[in-house]
Amino acid sequence: MKALVTGGTGFAGRHLVKELKTSGYEVTSTSLHESDLEDTEIIRTNLSERVSVNKINLKSYDVIFHLAGLAAVGPSFDEPTRYLRSNSEIQVNLFEACISQAASPKFIIISSANIYCADELPLKESSEIIPTSPYAVSKITQEYLGQYYGTRGFEVIIARAFNHMGPGQLEGFIVADFAKQIADAEKSGRGTVKTGNLKARRDYTDVRDIVRGYRLLAEKGRTGEVYNVCSGRAISGEDILKGLLKNSKADIKMRTDKKLFRPVDRLEVYGSNQKICNDTGWQPRIPLEQTLIETLDYWREKL
């Protein structure tokens, strides 16, 4: 099985490439920049440019895992146009290039739980959609584009990923931000961790479990369907910080930073993973404590 992973040099992409290769796939990744991804063919290209995408031989792939795009929620409030344009343009270019090349790979499009309205929990694939950020609007647009190209004959599966974390995640996400600050404080034995809204509860899953879900959807998911990929439980930012601090001996204090609060922030969000579990046999395996320790160790080594 030959797979193309767009954005394969990013956080989730790297883990997905490893998951696919371990499972016997022949994997190629796209990247906008130079990459140190080992033992993997890299196509360095700008997917926002249709001419560049048309140069990729898309007929050679059985499945495309589409992860490329802008992923952080926070910056989208300051750059809404950039998020909407980039995330939709890349996907259109991929599908249109497939059409021009008479290529027909299966598409696994990575969407986000940020598109849901959180009034009724757990969130199911049929739950109401009300975006609360430009990022969420861009992911809804990607989903609708996927549905449109489904009418053009493509096999498309949508994966609505909830929050994921793990070693290799860079700044801009709560677990990585906390881990980096703690690892930095450990160098002197003391320090401060800046926090936003620690009361917000979110559905967190180890990234390695998440990407295993993506692979299983490609193998066993039903074409045209939408699947939540999540743990099915909510964890507060406070619990995550406590879990990280438990594994550190440094003298670390917490300081609330109002700049880290989002303009719109729901108190609790968690999803139902019943559909993906039933259709593919997927279950999250990696416990939270292991994820937190390994993420903290990653930042200790990086710093």
Mean of the per-residue pLDDT values of the chain? 94
Mean pLDDT, range 97-104, rounded to an integer: 98
Inform me whether the pLDDT recorded for 227 exceeds 70. Answer: yes
Q: Write out pLDDT tens, residues 237-250.
A: 999 999 999 999 89
Flag the least confident range among 60-74, 235-249, 258-272.
Answer: 258-272
Amino acid at 15: H
Inform me whether the pLDDT recorded for 35 exceeds 80. Answer: no
Farthest CA pair distance, the chain? 60
| CA angle, residues 148, 281, 168, in degrees to nearest 5 | 75
pLDDT of res. 61: 98
Mean pLDDT, range 173-200, rounded to an integer: 93
**Residue bearing the bigger pLDDT, 105 or 33:** 105
In this prediction, residue 257 has a pLDDT band, given cuts at 50, 70 and 90, of confident
Look at the block and give the residue holding tokens 């994966």: 159
Q: Which two tokens mark 185?
A: 């404080």
**Could you tell me whether strands 201-202 and 235-236 are parallel, antiparallel, or unpaired per DSSP bridges?**
antiparallel
Domains and CATH numbers, the chain: 2-164+204-229 (3.40.50.720), 167-202+233-270+286-302 (3.90.25.10)
- The C-alpha atoms of residue 243 and residue 236 are separated, in whole angstroms, by 11
Q: Write out pLDDT tens, residues 139-160.
A: 999 999 999 999 999 999 999 9
pLDDT of res. 265: 67
Q: What percent of the chain has pLDDT over 70?
A: 98
Contact 104, 94 (CB under 8 A): no
